[in-house]
Amino acid sequence: MGNQTINEGKIAAIISYITIFGTIIAFFMNNSAKNSFTSFHIRQMIGLSMAYSLNSWIVFPFLDKTAAAIITIILFVLWFIGFIGAIKGEKN
């Protein structure tokens, strides 16, 4: 993937990490001009959002709250790594 592709998709990739609404906005921004860098980060954020939702709906009410807190911290760290990767222009 070239620098041109990364530079064109960097703004939408960063926007995708701003809550689920940012992901939806980035999805529509990327819909007309498909960019592989942006698509990667959108898919990554959708996966993190789904994991967070499952954590909130299943782990927290039915299992241990400590386990839910640990999973939430792990998901936050993964979100932060992805966000920094989008800023730097990396796919991790």
CB-based burial label for 58 (10 Å; 0-12, 13-18, 19+): exposed
* Domain boundaries of the chain, sorted by first residue: 3-88
Residues near 71 by beta carbon (within 8 Å), at least 6 away in sequence: 51, 55, 59
Please report the pLDDT score of residue 5 as a whole number: 67
Over 80: is that where the pLDDT of 2 sits? no
- 27-77 tens-digit pLDDT: 888 887 788 888 888 888 989 989 988 888 877 777 878 888 888 899 999
**What is the Cα–Cα distance from 2 to 66, expressed in whole angstroms?**
43
